[in-house]
């Protein structure tokens, strides 16, 4: 963590209604009701920018087919 960064707990920065709204949006994504792009647009419409944190698979043993599937999903922004 950088010394000049200030971190605020989400419950100190958001209202109860915002917390509920964001949780509902995330649940829809988690349950497969919406895709990542829809989730991103929903957050943007509420003034929040989201950025996925991708897992580094570079040192993971997997088949070439699986690796290609993962690369293709990342290029389409088809996140889980």
Domain membership of residue 65 as a residue range:
10-75
Answering whether pTM is above 0.75, one says no
Residue 15 lies in a domain: yes
- Classified as helix, coil or strand, 53 is coil
Question: Per residue in 22-68, pLDDT tens?
Answer: 999 999 999 999 998 999 999 999 999 988 877 777 677 777 777 77
pLDDT at position 31:
92
Q: Can you tell me the distance from the alpha carbon of 79 to that of 40, in angstroms, rounded to the nearest whole number?
A: 11
Residue 48 lies in a domain: yes
Highest mean pLDDT range out of 1-10, 15-24, 51-60? Answer: 15-24
Residue 80 lies in a domain: no
Residue 3 lies in a domain: no
Q: Report the candidate in 49, 53, 50, 55 with the shortest Cα–Cα distance to residue 70.
A: 55
Residue 64 lies in a domain: yes
Q: Is residue 4 scored above 60 in pLDDT?
A: yes
The number of domains in the chain is 1
55-64 contacts at long range (C-beta below 8 A, 24 or more positions apart): none
Contact status, residue 34 vs residue 42, Cβ threshold 8 Å: yes
Residue 40 lies in a domain: yes
């Amino acid at each position: 963590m950088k010394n000049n960064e200030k971190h605020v707990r989400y419950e100190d920065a958001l209202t109860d209604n915002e917390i509920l709204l964001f949780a509902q949006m995330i649940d829809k994504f988690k349950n497969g009701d919406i895709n990542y792009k829809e989730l991103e647009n929903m957050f943007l419409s509420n003034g929040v920018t989201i950025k996925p944190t991708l897992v580094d698979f570079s040192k993971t043993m997997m088949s070439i087919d699986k690796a290609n599937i993962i690369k293709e999903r990342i290029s389409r922004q088809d996140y889980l």
